[in-house]
Amino acid sequence: MTRTSSRQGQVVRLNADRHGAAPVTGHRGPAARRRGAVLLGGVDLRHLDQTGLRRRVVLLPQDAPLPAALPAALAQALGADLGALRAALAEVGAAPPVDGWGPGGRALPPGLRQQVALAQLLVLDPDVVVLDEPTSALDPTTAATVERAAAHALAGRTVVTVAHRLATALAADRVVVLPAGRVVEHGPPAALLAAHGGFSELARAASGETQRSAGP
């Protein structure tokens, strides 16, 4: 069994295959029958209280839905007061309409919706944040705005990112390469590039695609 770990405050990128396969061990189903485990603070996730686990580990997906349509209702859903939520929104540079954003936040532009989701992280204050390419569907300008907000909201936390973009992986403290859900490489990006293995091949392929799209 391959082991990889991260210290508090590190950013770890999971480079899945083209189909996004990055399974982790669960309680039921096919993943539960596979070897391996995910540890948090040295304890298998399957042995942790689920309520406590959800407070310590928060997922921010590509298109994060919001659990309430009004700021006051969102604060209540997070177990926080409205002032704390407004302060968190200001910290990530988000200024959503005061009259709300519709069910799931669908009335907001995608970038602003992701900033509000980042404000939720500040309110929840988890130890670990799992990001599933939160800027992949955004245009470059909006993505840069969200990335700046994310850098502030995620400072000092352990971050696990599912990444397909080379730039995202290169910015990590550690990279874990997961073709078909198996760990084949893990370590600092520079070390993996120097090892001339699978990650190095992915980097060369991504660089070639970028050059071709840029044209002559």
For 168, other C-beta atoms within 10 Å of its C-beta total: 20
Residue 124 lies in a domain: yes
Pairwise CA distance, residues 123 & 77, whole Å: 11
> Which tokens is 174 given?
């550690």
Query: What does the pLDDT look like over 190-201, one tens digit per residue?
Result: 999 999 888 888
Q: Which of 7-16, 168-177, 182-191 has the lowest mean pLDDT?
A: 7-16
Residues 93-116 have a mean pLDDT of 77
Pairwise CA distance, residues 80 & 125, whole Å: 11
Residue 5 lies in a domain: no
Q: Which residues pair with 185 in a beta bridge?
A: 177
Pairwise CA distance, residues 111 & 213, whole Å: 24
Indicate the helix (H) or strand (E) that contains 40: strand 39-40
Q: Is the pLDDT of residue 94 over 80?
A: yes
Residue 14 lies in a domain: no
**Which is more confidently placed, 209 or 103?**
103
> Which tokens is 12 given?
């770890």
**Which is more confidently placed, 164 or 44?**
44
Domain total of the chain: 1
Structural domain that includes position 69: 21-163
> What pLDDT score does 35 carry?
64
Q: What secondary structure, in 3-state letters, does 120-178 show?
A: HHHHHCCCEEEEECCCCCCCHHHHHHHHHHHHHHCCCCEEEEEECCHHHHHCCCEEEEE
Q: Is the pLDDT of residue 15 over 90?
A: no
**Global confidence as pTM:** 0.70
Instruction: Characterize 88-105 residue by residue with b for buried, 16 or more Cβ atoms within 10 angstroms of its Cβ, and e for exposed.
Output: bbeebebebeeebbeeeb
Q: What is the CATH number of the domain that holds 84?
A: 3.40.50.300
Pairwise CA distance, residues 158 & 129, whole Å: 6
Residue 201 lies in a domain: no
Residue 194 lies in a domain: no
> Which tokens is 60 given?
């921010």
> What pLDDT score does 216 carry?
54
Residue 211 lies in a domain: no
